[in-house]
Structure 1
Amino acid sequence: MSVTGTEGGNAGRREDTATGTASRGAPENGTLVDPHVKVLNERVVDRARARGLDALVYAPHFTRLPDIRARAARFSDDDLLVVPAREVFTGTWRNRQHVLGVGLSEPVPDFISLPGALAAFERQNAAVLVPHPEFLNVSLDREAITRHADAIDAVETHNFKTLPRGNRRARGLVRETGLPAFGSSYAHLAGSVGEVWTAFERELDSESDLVAALRTGAPRRVLRRDTLGHTLRGAAEFAHLGYENSWGKVDRLFLSGTEPTHPSHVAYEGRFDDVREY
């Protein structure tokens, strides 16, 4: 795969500086990745291609890995690689710490302890990413990142849904810890895909290539669009938070114990009983 030069992919772009892994100069051959999106359909694929992306990481909420893999495969082709992943909700709903696993071969449920999730990721040699650090009550904080730094492969320094001050704090965390960086749209809305992306210097042609690049700290830059449309879409994504963080929504849809990613679901065969929070 090569970095594309379409107007949609490059117009109004801006580098997110002080990421800890930034390199100067655009690579002649590389891979542009939006490494965390929540939606996947024809519109998303069209948007990704228009933005000049080579790959997406698809990690919807409350969906089991086999279903994620099947949908990712449906929309993946020679022009756009779609990599399946899981953003696991660790801890309780009121104090949850999200962690993103890329390259999982076996399902991992939500609402287990953070050490339990990290151990499951390590057993599968998955890449471990920290999305939106220190964001509200849904993220790993500075203490957790520092404590588990050896198990973390990258920290997000620009998230489309996060306010500027939050992204500045994230860049400070990367400088302090020396961990690699990444940036994503975290798109819950199709129009947000490709508003923020990570540009790897080398070609990544498969899920295993991306996992290896993340786990080894391969050189990359974090980039974002810098247009009025970018600002407006960001406001729409932030407004979407009200629904995403509704306790009533999760109480109705998840905590009955029968939902697909609940740790007591029959699909997990009791393997996570010792680290479950509900």
Structure 2
Amino acid sequence: MVSRSRTRVDAHVKVLDDRVVARAKERGIDALVYAPHFTRLPTLRERADRFSDDDLTVVPGREVFTGDWGNRRHLLAIGLSEPVPDYITFEGAMAEFERQDAAVLVPHPAFATISLTRPELAAHDARVDAIETYNTKLLAHQNGRARDIADDLDLHGFGSSYAHLRPTVGEAWTAFEGDLPDEAAIVEAFREGRPRSVVHRGGIDHRLRGLVEFGHLAYENTWAKAERLFLSGEEPTLPSNVVYEGRFDDVAVYE
């Protein structure tokens, strides 16, 4: 593997297959953080290992839904060693991330009703390693608001394509100084606040890809999708699933 002076990390994608890997490499991306919804850590890690090679590191991440569906706050954790379910309290999730020494990233801050607000971030800034200051899916004023929050609270930023659709991969990234050759180095870079810049592609094509992704939100946030998750209690990331052995019963928001 050739040592790099900078490492380009697309820090949050929802899709991963051979076409995604090819797309990332074509666009000069060195690492992807793969964090699809409602997928347990062992599955994430197996897929990340399968698609990683000398030219691209895939880091498994968990975007955990804290709170109930109508009041959820998303937290993106990387560097986890044990599974963490969705639909647990914010404090329960943060305590587990801290126990596992994971890096805690905040996606799409202050967006809609699914993100940490500015007051919430101000109250917990010492527990957050970075907030997303550029997300391809979001509109310009929404990304501008995120940058303002990061500046006001002196928080590190990160950028991502937030790709739910394959063509969006590599539209934005976090460029760290120095060579980050593997998952551990990438997690440490976020946790230590390593110098970085947030970069995105430009032009009409980039804007159109963002608008297509934004339109995809209509599917991502329907109650129909939520209802599918609560049919049996056997869904993989509900805290009631037997795989968690009751460890999160005291912080679960659904019985």
Q: Does 1:276 align with 2:252?
A: yes
Q: Quote the Cα distance in structure 1 between the aligned partners of 2:163 and 2:223.
A: 21
2:85 to 109, 114, 119: 109
Q: Which residue of the partner structure matches residue 91 of structure 1? A: 67
Q: Which residue of the partner structure matches residue 24 of structure 2? A: 48
Q: Does 1:34 align with 2:10?
A: yes
- Deviation digits for residues 187-238 of structure 1 (CA, Å, limit 9, x no counterpart): 0001000101000011101111011100110000000000211111111101
Matches within 5 A, 1:1-278: 29-254=5-230, 256-278=232-254
Q: Quote the Cα distance in structure 1 between the aligned partners of 2:240 and 2:94.
A: 18
Alignment check: 8 A CA contact 1:2 1:30 kept: no
Amino acid at match of 2:101: N
TM-score by length of 1: 0.89
Q: State the 1:143 CA deviation.
A: 1.4
Alignment check: 8 A CA contact 1:255 1:262 kept: no
Alignment check: 8 A CA contact 1:131 1:156 kept: yes
- Structural RMSD (CA): 1.2
* 3-state SS of 1:274 partner: helix
Gap runs ≥5 in structure 2: none
Q: State the 1:253 CA deviation.
A: 3.1
Q: State the 1:255 CA deviation.
A: 5.5
Alignment check: 8 A CA contact 1:2 1:203 kept: no
- Deviation digits for residues 236-273 of structure 1 (CA, Å, limit 9, x no counterpart): 10111011001111112345321000011001111111
Q: State the 1:175 CA deviation.
A: 0.8
Q: Quote the Cα distance in structure 2 between the aligned partners of 1:2 and 1:230.
A: 29
Gap runs ≥5 in structure 1: 4-27
* 3-state SS of 1:176 partner: helix
- Deviation digits for residues 64-98 of structure 1 (CA, Å, limit 9, x no counterpart): 00000000100000010001110000011111100
Q: Quote the Cα distance in structure 1 between the aligned partners of 2:83 and 2:60.
A: 11
Gap change, CA 1:2 and 1:191, over 3 Å in 2: farther
Deviates more, 1:63-72 or 1:227-236: 227-236
Gap change, CA 1:141 and 1:255, over 3 Å in 2: farther
* 3-state SS of 1:69 partner: helix
* Percent pairwise identity: 61
* 3-state SS of 1:133 partner: coil
Amino acid at match of 1:57: V
Q: Quote the Cα distance in structure 2 between the aligned partners of 1:30 and 1:165.
A: 28
Alignment check: 8 A CA contact 1:156 1:184 kept: yes
Gap change, CA 1:195 and 1:145, over 3 Å in 2: same
Higher relative contact order, chain-length normalized (CA < 8 Å, sep 6+): 1
- Deviation digits for residues 12-40 of structure 1 (CA, Å, limit 9, x no counterpart): xxxxxxxxxxxxxxxx7010000100000
Q: Quote the Cα distance in structure 2 between the aligned partners of 1:81 and 1:134.
A: 29
